[in-house]
Amino acid sequence: MRHLLLLVLLATTLKAGEAPRWAQMDYGPTMGCSLQIGNEYVLRALIVRLDKEKQTYVAYDLETMRVAAMWTGGFIDGNGVIFKSEHHAQPKPVGTLLWSNPIGPGWANKDGSFVDPRPQYVAKYNMPQGGSELTREGQPMPKEWVQYKGHYLHGQQVVVSYAINGCAVLERPRLSAAGSLMRTITVAPSSIEQRVDLAASGPYCTAGGAGAVDVTIAEITGREIGIIPPRKEARTFFVVISQKEEIPQSADAFAGLMSEKLINGGPARWPETITTQLTPGTGDGPYVVDTVTAPDDNPWKSWMRFGGLDFFPGGKRAALCTWSGDVWIVSGLDGTTLTWKRYATGLQEPLGLVITDDGIVLTCRNAIMRLHDLNNDGEADFYEAFNTDIHLTRQFHEFALDLTRDKAGNFYFAKGATPGRGGPNFDLWSLHNGGFFRLSPDGKKLDVVARGLRAPNGIGIGPNGEMTTGDNQGSWVPVCPLNRIRAGGFVGIPDGVPGDVKPTKRDPPIIWMPMDVDNSSGCQVWAPDDRWGPFAGSMLHLSYGKSSLFSVMTQEIGDVMQGALTKFPLTFATGIMRARFNPADGQLYVCGLRGWQTNGARDGAFQRVRYVGKPVAMAMGYAVTKDGIDLTFSQPLDKTEAENVDNWALQQFNVLWSAKYGSPEVSVADPAKHARDTVIVAKATLKADGKTVSLTIPGIQPVNCLVIKPRIATADGTAITAHINATINVVP
């Protein structure tokens, strides 16, 4: 056998002084990411650290359960959006690549074939090198052949769990005495032979261990293939893949390499807890923003950029995930002293989180994951692949976003599209780009509810099953919409709909939001009761780009919904994206991060919007009438000011739904002009309830963006000047 040629990889070049933030972080025993190895990509890589010195690693391809590569001399170079904020790039191994395996199944099917059944497609990527290529990456394998189940952690040891042809497999990677990869494998009983692709002919592959009596290694078509015969009992054996011939270890030395204790929870990896203080908000208004201080200064340099949150029953504890792959649990939310505990690490870009009776469930780029603490020590021991049906590409913008549930227990999330470098171009569309998804409570059935989204960084499921999303301006998204989602709906980008026939009209959003109002949307959430003031039952909308919170007012005419929103006069520390109401105190908690295209100042923050009991003076209701608009406010109004038409300044404009990036503000009166039109208010009438103003608008008609600037006051003299941004889809 020949020795495999060593490929020396370019090491990361660091500036003098402190390492960049991403490079300081300890990611734990494993890390999920998309990884470039040579000219190939592993889109669902699970990188496993093999030594205490953090120098030697192996990467599994969780789509095919092949061992994709082994390298030594460093970790990764940090290319990519999650590390260095680089677009159109993926990280690469640093150091010396010892060996790698090409894209394809890591194990044979029941007939002994390694032929990849996934269709090839042309992957056109609008990257610096341009061009296109044929690939199969990003597509799940048939589950009856290969299915990743998850992985266990026992201290720093890792056991990967998967199934091959329905046969359960446990695999523990580790270093041999000589520093080679030792794959310790336990296979369940099976009536058929199984074959595992170990390496190209070149490395020395040696099987050993008590369970390897009948395991053979054969060179077949230039590959080293491990052959495992049918068996009535489970077998455990190991295979060493080495650059030089090694003497197989004895059964005594092998004993204990795989045992039950490794999959039943182990010693804590992060026993330290971190204490912070809740910082109360200040201000004279009815709402203040408290800061649940994050553990930014922590022993593992974990980067606190929050992508999801949820509360445990009772509301005293919450779980939050970070963009870099962590899950943290914070306790003490009923007081001012907070205790943070690191619960999980190494997840692939988790940007949504829900707590269920069966564990913490997360939306990750590679899968929907569910975490289990098997020994109740406050750390996840089993990272379960709850659902792996998602298709993905290597495109950086294809985030898997948010996670929430309906009353039936279904999960909902969304995925981003694949915009290229500026202009109207998009990179490859997979089956799931730009989709809004429903996942059954058991994780077995994934449905695409609607298509056409671009960057839906936040969704909402209302108390009556309402489905909503925000989006992000770009090609086919003229300004940020607040979308109503319905089954079979189309909400933006024609390329997001499979097939040759593309939509020529999109579903109307509830609201088109001008760029100075929201340039990049977050999630939606509904206030459950009056503990949070007068907004019980109302929808709220978060802006990641403007770090803002809005109250949403909706009207339904026939099967068309339209609405308006107005901003709370509050300041947040970061780009807020996720929100939950705490069942204990009834207050709104928000979290988010600073990636790009946000005015948020901090990398991440967790904050509480607390109602202090003072009167609220804001718009609460919006309705289009045949003669104009009715606006309802939270308090009785000063009649003289409310009925003075000079106190109402209205402007309107349309936007163009097209392949161009964004849209100008287009005059309604003269579409050839890029300008806002002044809207005349002929009459303002305060209704008998003292809170609702009817604005008479001659010639009222559908319009994308209607900006209402009141200059009125409540009956007790409190000024109301907050702008109201509305959309008119239909006039009754």
Instruction: Based on the fold, state whether residues 645 and 606 are members of the same structural domain.
Output: no
Instruction: Based on the fold, state whether residues 454 and 406 are members of the same structural domain.
Output: yes
pLDDT at 125: 60
Secondary structure of residue 65 in the 3-state scheme: coil
Question: What residue type is assigned to position 487 of the chain?
Answer: A
Residue 378 has pLDDT above 80, yes or no: yes
HEC sequence for 454-480:
CCCCCEEECCCCCEEECCECEECECCE
Domain-embedded: residue 721: yes
Domain-embedded: residue 139: no
Instruction: Based on the fold, state whether residues 57 and 185 are members of the same structural domain.
Output: yes
- The values of phi and psi at residue 262, to 5°, are -70, -20
607: which 2 tokens?
A: 């904050």
Owner of token pair 């008998």:
688
Burial classification of residue 16, based on how many CB atoms lie within 10 Å of its CB (0-12 exposed, 13-18 middle, 19 or more buried): exposed
For 512-552, the DSSP string reads EE-TTT-SBEEEEEE--SGGGSTTTT-EEEEETTTTEEEEE
Residue 381 has pLDDT above 70, yes or no: yes
CA quadruple 362, 603, 513, 412: dihedral, nearest 10: 0
What confidence tens digit (pLDDT) does each residue in 225-275 have? 999 999 999 999 989 998 777 655 544 445 456 678 899 999 999 999 999
Is 57 within 8 Å of 93 (Cβ atoms)?
Answer: yes
Q: How far apart are CA 674 and CA 540, in angstroms?
A: 31
Instruction: Identify the domain boundary among 611, 641, 656.
Output: 611
pLDDT at 247: 58
Instruction: Based on the fold, state whether residues 433 and 580 are members of the same structural domain.
Output: yes
Residue 424 has pLDDT above 70, yes or no: no
Instruction: Identify the domain boundary among 263, 286, 305.
Output: 263
**Residues 549, 555, 556, 561, CA torsion sign:** negative
Is 58 within 8 Å of 352 (Cβ atoms)?
Answer: no
pLDDT-derived band at 504, boundaries 50, 70, 90: very high
Instruction: Identify the domain boundary among 594, 611, 628.
Output: 611
pLDDT at 160: 98
Burial classification of residue 579, based on how many CB atoms lie within 10 Å of its CB (0-12 exposed, 13-18 middle, 19 or more buried): buried
Instruction: Based on the fold, state whether residues 243 and 312 are members of the same structural domain.
Output: no
What confidence tens digit (pLDDT) does each residue in 121-149 have? 876 665 445 556 788 999 999 999 999 99
Structural domains counted in the chain: 3
- The values of phi and psi at residue 81, to 5°, are -70, -35
CA angle 514, 517, 523 (to 5 degrees): 105
Secondary structure of residue 55 in the 3-state scheme: coil
Higher pLDDT, 11 or 384: 384
Residue 430 has pLDDT above 90, yes or no: no
Instruction: Based on the fold, state whether residues 564 and 539 are members of the same structural domain.
Output: yes
**Residues 107, 113, 119, 123, CA torsion sign:** positive
Instruction: Based on the fold, state whether residues 513 and 637 are members of the same structural domain.
Output: no
- CATH number (domain holding residue 584): 2.120.10.30
pLDDT at 11: 31
Is 491 within 8 Å of 556 (Cβ atoms)?
Answer: no
pLDDT at 1: 28
Instruction: Based on the fold, state whether residues 496 and 582 are members of the same structural domain.
Output: yes
Q: What is the mean pLDDT of residues 313-330?
A: 99
Domain-embedded: residue 577: yes
Domain-embedded: residue 560: yes
Owner of token pair 């990361």:
12
Domain-embedded: residue 390: yes
Question: What residue type is assigned to position 196 of the chain?
Answer: V
Instruction: Based on the fold, state whether residues 236 and 341 are members of the same structural domain.
Output: no
Domain-embedded: residue 247: yes
Domain-embedded: residue 127: no
Note down the domain range covering 399. Answer: 273-611
pLDDT at 5: 26
Instruction: Based on the fold, state whether residues 56 and 190 are members of the same structural domain.
Output: yes
Instruction: Based on the fold, state whether residues 258 and 283 are members of the same structural domain.
Output: no
Residue 344 has pLDDT above 80, yes or no: yes
- The per-residue b/e assignment along 111-143, b for 16 or more CB within 10 angstroms, e otherwise, is eeebeeebeebebbbbbeeeeeeebbbbbbbee
Instruction: Based on the fold, state whether residues 599 and 641 are members of the same structural domain.
Output: no
Domain-embedded: residue 135: no
- pTM of the full structure: 0.95
pLDDT at 121: 83
- CATH number (domain holding residue 695): 2.60.40.1220
